[in-house]
Structure formats: structure tokens, C-alpha cells
Amino acid sequence: MSLSAIADTEIFESSESRVRSYSRSWPVVFDRAVGSTVFDESGRGYLDFFAGAGALNYGHNNPILKDVLIRYLAEDRIVHSLDMFTTARREFLQTFSDAILTPRDLDYRVVFPGPGGANAVEAALKLARKVTGRESVINFTNAFHGMTLGALSVTGNSLKRSGAGVPLVHATPMPYDDYFNQDYPDFFYLERLLSDSGSGLNLPAAVIVETVQGEGGINAARADWLRGLADLCRSHGILLIVDDVQMGCGRTGGFFSFEEAGIVPDMVCLSKSISGSGLPMALTLVRPELDIWEPGEHNGTFRGIAPAFMTAAEAIRTYWQDDALEASTIAKGARVEGRFNALVSSHDDAGLVAKGRGLARGLQFRDGETAEAVCRAAFERGLLMETSGPSGEVMKILPALTITDEELDRGLDIIDASIADVLAA
């Protein structure tokens, strides 16, 4: 790094908490972003295979969404509204109902729980306990659901859990799909515990699951496993919560990541790309009969960011009136899968494993040091991507769904070269 660049980061080093993380992997000062390219203050462009950790499915400063946002602000429209009725809130709710829920035959009430994904998870857990009168929740190995205490209680990562500072209770982890490498039948342990009155497992209020575990290592559950889980919950009177914060809004193909499995969760958590523009916004979708909140029983100051409603509605109108984006995402995902499978074959002594669905993809290495070295080598070549998994052993990519084929291929070429250099060293 140049001396001028070091000087330019002094304020971050001296004033900002050491808890920051992404800036340690990408030690430059970013300034502008367009589509799938982020520019640092010197003007160097970086191809973005990170997309705000999945919050920018439609790219940076998408011109269609940016135009809606600028016009809305220029007209002095409502920005902050808590849960008051506004034209922006009505426009989003009507668009979401007409273009997303109704065509999929989904009947949900929409809770606006706060600005982020953890807020959506907290609301779902809280409501599930209120509805059922039960305390415990089943979560899964390697799950990630957020950094607040309730969300951490159903998260698997030991580093993140250790930051809580208090016992994380009322949650019981169970094996995620293929946790035992198919050595045991699906749900053999959970089913036994639920059916055995001597197991010591209290009947749970809910099960919370990601269809693809993003932070946990791009672990994709099979459709059969998800259907089996839904059946198991139904037979025992347990509510099923799908955390679609990172994998929803088209990341795996369909708008909801559970569509492929043909299941209908009792609750769904959405955030990240629901606003379309990167503005804070989150939803907790609940079946109407579960909507038993008292007025004000769950609230928050920033649950009514009207500009986010406007860009969210426009994103739905632009990208979800037909299946063009879904088909494109599936095709691009297959393109990545082919390239990753080729890397696995060409480095057959490195123990690589290709993982994922749609445009949530990963390459698993033998250890976190190797995966981190690949990401560092890619950054030096002008590509942003991160690691995931319990030891950071998975190189993870979440490119914008709107990325061009040329950009996608260019990024994959950088990955090829970075892996070759790291493994050779």
C-alpha cells in the first residue's frame, strides 16, 4: 500500500472500533460503484462478487432504482414514518401482493420489524413463542441468523456466539442436511427426540432454517430434505420459519429460495435485497392466523423507511413481472457451477468441493488459510469476494443477479488464476 493510502486510512485506524472486518480484507478506500464494479478513491475498479453480502442483487446504483429514489427525495416525500400509513408503504404492499405473493398462491401478513435481517428473525422467534406458548426453538448446525441475542441463540458459529456475553438459551441445534455425509437417514435424530417422551427435548415452538447456508459455508439443502422437514414440523405442530434474508429476492433463482422445494413456511424472514437499492428494509411474513400481535407489541423506530418502499416496489415491477431474471440467474449459476467443477477436476489433489445454488456459489478448500489466500490473490487482481464456513474454508461468491456474462466470465478467470497461483505456492 502506498504512503498516501496509509495516510488516508489513519482516521479509520484511530477512530473506528476494531470490530470492523471487511476493511481488513480490502485495505483500500472505496468511493464510487456502478453495476458490478466498485471504484476506490484512486479510480481503480474492482469487479464485485460480494454485492453487499447479498444486499445488492440488482447491482450498485441500479439506474432504474436510483431514478425512483432521486425523484422521491426531490419531491419532499415522506422519508421516516414508523408504521404510519403512507403512499409509499401502500405502493410497496400492493406491488408485493400483486406480483410476488398472489402469483405464488402465498397468503401472508407483512410485518415490518425494523431495518435489518436480525430484526426479521427476532420478530419471527418472538411471534412463534407467543402463538404456541412454548419456549424452545430448533436450529441447525452451521446456521447463521444474525448478531442480536435471539438470532445468535439459533446461530451455530462459535466465534459469533461467544460475543454474546450471556448464555444463549432456549435453542437446540440439529444436524443440517448431509451433516453426516448421508451415513444416517434424514432427521433420524430429531424424529427420535420428538417421539421419545424421555428424550428431554421440550416440544419446540418453531424450527428455523436457511435453504442455503450462506455464512455457514454455502451448504445447500436438498429439496427432499426441505420437504421432509416441512412434513415433520406439520406432524408435530411445530411452526416452520425460513430465513430467506440472504437467499431470498432471487438469489437462488425463484424470488423465494424455498419455491424449488414446493413448501410453504409458516413464517419467512426477508431483508438485504428486498429494498433493491441497498437501503435498510426487512420483512417478516406470517400466515394470517398467526398474526396475533397486540398493537405496538413489536415495534421499532426505523421500520418505515419510505424511500426503501419505493425502490422495493420498483425492483419488483422491473424484475419480477415475468421469469426472465429467474431464468437468467439459473443459467448464470449453471455457468459458475461448470467452471467450479472444472476447477475441482483440474486440481484433483487439492480436495476442492464445489457448492451452492443459483448465484450463491462456493469452493471449499481444505482449510481457511488457503481460501483466504485465494480471496487475497483475487483482490490483488481486482475482484472482491469473501470466505465463509466455520473455519473460513469456503471461497464464497454472491455476484449481482444483473451481472453481465462478460463480467461473470472475467471474474471466474480471475478466480482460476488466483487458485492456480495459491495452490502452486
Q: Using one digit for the tens of pLDDT, what is the confidence trace for 313-323?
A: 999 999 999 99
Q: Quick one: cell of 78?
A: 415522506
Band of residue 1 on the pLDDT scale cut at 50, 70, 90: very low
**Run of H or E residues at 411:** helix 405-424
Eight-state DSSP code of residue 113 = -
> What is the rounded average pLDDT of the residues 323-334?
98
Spatial CB neighbours of 406, under 8 Å, sequence gap ≥ 6: none
Neighbouring CB atoms inside 10 A of 26's CB total: 17
Q: At what angle do helices 63-74 and 306-319 cross, to 10 degrees?
A: 150
Tell me the per-residue pLDDT of 28-56, one tens digit each, with 9 for 90 and over. Answer: 999 999 999 999 999 999 999 999 999 99
Tell me the per-residue pLDDT of 114-153, one tens digit each, with 9 for 90 and over. Answer: 999 999 999 999 999 999 999 999 999 999 999 999 999 9
Measure the CA–CA gap between 261 and 287, rounded to whole angstroms: 19
Which ranges of 203-323 does DSSP label H, i.e. alpha helix? 223-236, 306-319
Residue 20 scores a pLDDT above 70? yes
**Run of H or E residues at 33:** strand 30-34
Residue 208: which of 292, 169, 265 has the closest Cα?
Answer: 265
Spatial CB neighbours of 351, under 8 Å, sequence gap ≥ 6: 365, 366
Q: Quote the pLDDT of residue 8.
A: 86
Q: Quote the pLDDT of residue 304.
A: 85
Measure the CA–CA gap between 238 and 249, rounded to whole angstroms: 26
Q: Quote the pLDDT of residue 419.
A: 98
Residue 402 DSSP SS3 = coil
Measure the CA–CA gap between 386 and 392, rounded to whole angstroms: 9
Percent of the chain having pLDDT more than 90? 94
Residue 154: which of 173, 167, 126, 135 has the closest Cα?
Answer: 173
Band of residue 338 on the pLDDT scale cut at 50, 70, 90: very high
Angle at 251 between CA 415 and CA 223, to 5 degrees: 105
> What is the rounded average pLDDT of the residues 202-212?
97
Q: Quote the pLDDT of residue 172.
A: 95
Residue 193 scores a pLDDT above 50? yes
Tell me the per-residue pLDDT of 43-101, one tens digit each, with 9 for 90 and over. Answer: 999 999 999 999 999 999 999 999 999 999 999 999 999 999 999 999 999 999 999 99
Q: Quote the pLDDT of residue 7.
A: 41
Residue 356 scores a pLDDT above 90? yes
**Run of H or E residues at 371:** helix 368-380
Measure the CA–CA gap between 145 and 390, rounded to whole angstroms: 14
> What is the rounded average pLDDT of the residues 243-268?
98
Residue 9 scores a pLDDT above 80? yes
Residue 5 scores a pLDDT above 90? no
Q: Quick one: cell of 156?
A: 451455530
Residue 2 scores a pLDDT above 80? no
Which residues of 253-390 form beta strands (DSSP E)? 267-270, 283-286, 353-357, 360-364, 383-384, 386-388
Q: Quote the pLDDT of residue 85.
A: 97
Tell me the per-residue pLDDT of 365-378, one tens digit each, with 9 for 90 and over. Answer: 999 999 999 999 99
Band of residue 182 on the pLDDT scale cut at 50, 70, 90: confident
Tell me the per-residue pLDDT of 377-391, one tens digit each, with 9 for 90 and over. Answer: 999 999 999 999 999
For cell 425502490, the residue is 311
Q: What is the pTM of this model?
A: 0.96
Q: Quote the pLDDT of residue 297.
A: 96
Band of residue 6 on the pLDDT scale cut at 50, 70, 90: very low
For all residues of the chain together, what is the average pLDDT?
Answer: 96
Q: Quote the pLDDT of residue 183.
A: 86
